[in-house]
Structure 1
């Protein structure tokens, strides 16, 4: 499984320059506001953020930048992101795989994972990832880009991601985008596919983030 944003960007292609980063940062701020309106966390809410990165771009690790109660955050990732403990005093960083979190059942008040699930591999791995988040958290918030948005943000290529996955990956290889052509690095999801992965007894609220009028990102709030 890969919890790695170093070679990707969940909102826009990584080679498009400063404008892309600004757009990504704007989108993530809006996503954060949407999340806060749903979760309404207090200063005592214990939060686990699964999928932080070692990348220091403005739009990376946006939850740590924006969340007001940083001393209540435990951040998890597979890269070396220990610098977060220095940048945000009180925050705790744990380097581990999101498919095997070292926390007891329901030990966290809130678990968040922003645009990570599309990077964890096969559908089986994605479902296992969702179940692990729900295992350790009393409440979970999961976001992912919408597969049916016309532009695929990681590769910045339009429409071809609507084709069958094998065709999409073959075309990415032809375009020289070999990293994202691998299922373990990018496996896009629709709203229906994510809903099928959530626990059957969970109470789920779904929210849509729109870009240019169309649904670009999906947010799932799970109780």
Structure 2
């Protein structure tokens, strides 16, 4: 399911469009917040969970802009052919959805995941996913699309996604019913992300900065 979801997500972002420019701007800010909070060095080992095998501008932002890509390991649900071609210095592993990651405890200094948590299928799966990231990494930095950004990330529907009923109606009219299924999307608010996070986590706004209507949220936590 990873590749079809990625393709449908990125198909609403045309090459050289305003949407693409906004995506790049948002992901530059996420990278800046990553550097500010994590403070990685040239020796920091990183695991990026749930990378995309669809290669467009703005996708896989960490791999695209990070200063030490050889220190990154990546995993995803697909075979990773396009990812490995784009980033040959990065070790890629195929994983199984909602199963234990194939790494020992505290295997990495940092574990990241971008735009993955909202797609893992249920609230129970979301809690398990955050716990699994915390198991394999000493630090966790994950980002998700924010439900209360004025334009819904996956459908480009404006404002109606603030409420379940209006979003359901809009998706039905637009032929985008797949995004109403929790196995494909559970939209993320700050309160919901907080409910999934370890007690010592920092939750904040990132991406395109519009205060409580910013485009993305981040979760940062450090294992005790």
- TM-score normalised according to structure 1 size: 0.87
Deviation track 1:134-166 (CA, whole Å, cap 9, x = no partner) reads: 1111100011111122221211112222223x6
- What's 2:8 paired with? 7
- The equivalent residue for 2:106 is 106
Decide whether the 8 Å contact of 2:47 with 2:112 is kept in 1: yes
Match for residue 137 of structure 1?
137
User: Could you tell me whether the CA contact under 8 Å between 1:82 and 1:93 is conserved in 2?
Assistant: no
Indicate yes or no: 2:198 matched with 1:209: no
Displacement of 1:38 in angstroms is 0.9
Q: How does 1:114-129 map to 2 (within 5 A)?
A: 114-129=114-129
Partners in 1 of 2:108 and 2:27 — Cα distance?
A: 23
Is the Cα contact below 8 Å between 2:50 and 2:77 reproduced in 1?
Answer: yes
Higher fraction of helix: 2
Q: Supply the distance in 2 between the matched residues of 1:76 and 1:196 (Cα, whole angstroms).
A: 25
How far 1:118 moved relative to its partner? 1.1
- Is residue 2:63 matched to residue 1:57? no
What secondary structure is seen at the aligned counterpart in 1 of 2:6?
A: coil
Shift of residue 17 of structure 1? 5.1
Alpha-carbon displacement from aligned partner over 1:36-71 (angstroms, at most 9, x marks no partner): 111110111110001111101111111111111111
Asked if 1:71 is matched to 2:56, the reply is no
- Alignment partner, residue 94 of structure 2: 95
* Counterpart-to-counterpart distance in 2, 1:170 and 1:125: 26
Give the structure with the higher percent strand: 1
CA distance in 2, matches of 1:60, 1:114: 10
CA distance in 2, matches of 1:211, 1:85: 29
**Residue pair 1:108, 1:138 contacting (<8 A) in 2 also:** yes
The Cα RMSD (Å) is 2.2
Structure 2 residue aligned with 1:168: 167
Give me the TM-score of the superposition, normalised by structure 2: 0.87
* Unmatched tracts of structure 1, length 5 or more: none
With over 3 angstroms needed to count, the CA separation of the structure-2 counterparts of 1:157 and 1:221, relative to structure 1, is: same
Structure 2 unaligned blocks of 5 or more: none
Partner of 1:198: 197
1:170 Cα deviation (Å)? 4.6
> Which position in structure 1 is the counterpart of 2:35?
36
